[in-house]
């Protein structure tokens, strides 16, 4: 159970969110040129050296993570044919609901996440309304909330598994 | 809080948490949560546990503060 892919799923999502944050940094400061004339319609995005390097590295890393993630997912599905995870499922695959005990700890974790979201989203919305923030700061705010929800869920589930004894 | 003798009776029968979990159709972790008093099982699961451990439900589980006669 400790090696159950669903337990580590939030960690994977946190890693993807961090990579998106790095990618957002690289993509947020390009020089964009939009040309729309009778003879030409084009959008030119110029990346500076550092931003270009950051974007390139984060995309490479993102796909590397994606390949490893899919391999782990495939391994999990092979080892747990009754509890397969679909990468396209709408229902969060990190939910542990194979029996009433697992459902109970999942519910506790989800309640904590819900409490966090109900505070964090209005807070972010208020900050964005009141302060003239750049686009990157807003993106980071959204990513921070997404990261936070996975972190809260992971820590709560891990807490229950930490002290269990045979 | 619900107290229980699951750990004690499980040990008496020589079951591991996994063994007992398999017998009552739950995961090992759920047995661990019940033993720690972290989770109160449903009536169905309590009945299954009592049946597997060959005892009565009210001998296996009792409310904290209520008298419980050790057998």
Give me the residue spans of the domains in chain B: 2-59
Enter the CATH code of domain B2-59.
1.10.260.40
Q: How far apart are CA B28 and CA B33, in angstroms?
A: 9
Nearest CA in chain B to A165: B32
Q: How far apart are CA B48 and CA A18, in angstroms?
A: 46
Could you list the residue range(s) of the whole structural domain that residue A130 is in? 5-162
Cα–Cα–Cα angle for A6, A8, A12, nearest 5°? 110
Collapsing DSSP to helix, strand or coil, B50 comes out as helix
Number of domains in chain A: 1
Residue A48 has pLDDT above 80, yes or no: no
Cβ atoms of residues A152 and A112 within 8 Å: yes
CA distance B29 to chain A (A): 7
The tens digit of pLDDT for each residue in B22-69 reads 999 999 999 999 999 889 999 999 999 999 999 999 999 999 887 665
| Cβ atoms < 10 Å from Cβ of A165 | 8
Give me the interface pTM, i.e. the ipTM.
0.82
Nearest CA in chain A to B40: A101
Q: How many CA atoms lie within 13 A of A141 on its CB side?
A: 17
Collapsing DSSP to helix, strand or coil, A44 comes out as strand
Which pLDDT band, with edges at 50, 70 and 90, does A52 fall under?
A: confident
CB contacts under 8 A, A 101-140 vs B, are 101-102, 104-105
Chain pair A-B, CB pairs under 8 angstroms: 46
Q: How far apart are CA B65 and CA B71, in angstroms?
A: 18
Structure tokens at A51: 């931003």
């Amino acid at each position: 159970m400790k090696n159950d892919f669903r337990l580590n799923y939030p960690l994977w999502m946190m890693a993807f969110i961090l990579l998106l944050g790095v990618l957002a940094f690289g993509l947020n400061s390009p020089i964009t040129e939009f040309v729309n004339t009778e003879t030409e319609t084009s959008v030119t995005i110029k990346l500076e050296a550092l931003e270009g390097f950051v974007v390139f590295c984060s995309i490479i890393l993102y796909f590397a993570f994606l390949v490893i993630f899919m391999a782990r997912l495939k391994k999990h599905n092979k080892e747990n044919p009754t509890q397969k995870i679909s990468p396209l499922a709408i229902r969060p695959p990190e939910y542990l609901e194979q029996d009433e005990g697992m459902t109970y700890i999942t519910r506790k974790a989800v309640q904590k996440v819900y409490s966090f979201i109900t505070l964090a989203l209005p807070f972010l919305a208020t900050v964005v309304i009141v302060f003239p923030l750049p686009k990157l700061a807003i993106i980071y705010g959204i990513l921070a909330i997404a990261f936070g929800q996975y972190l809260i869920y992971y820590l709560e589930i891990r807490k229950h598994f930490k002290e269990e004894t045979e | 809080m619900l107290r229980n003798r699951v750990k004690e009776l499980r040990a008496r029968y020589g079951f591991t948490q996994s063994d007992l979990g398999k017998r009552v159709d739950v995961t090992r972790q759920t047995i661990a949560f019940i033993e720690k008093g972290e989770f109160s099982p449903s009536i169905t699961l309590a009945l299954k546990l009592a049946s597997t451990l060959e005892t009565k439900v009210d001998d296996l589980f009792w409310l904290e503060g209520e008298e419980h006669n050790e057998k």
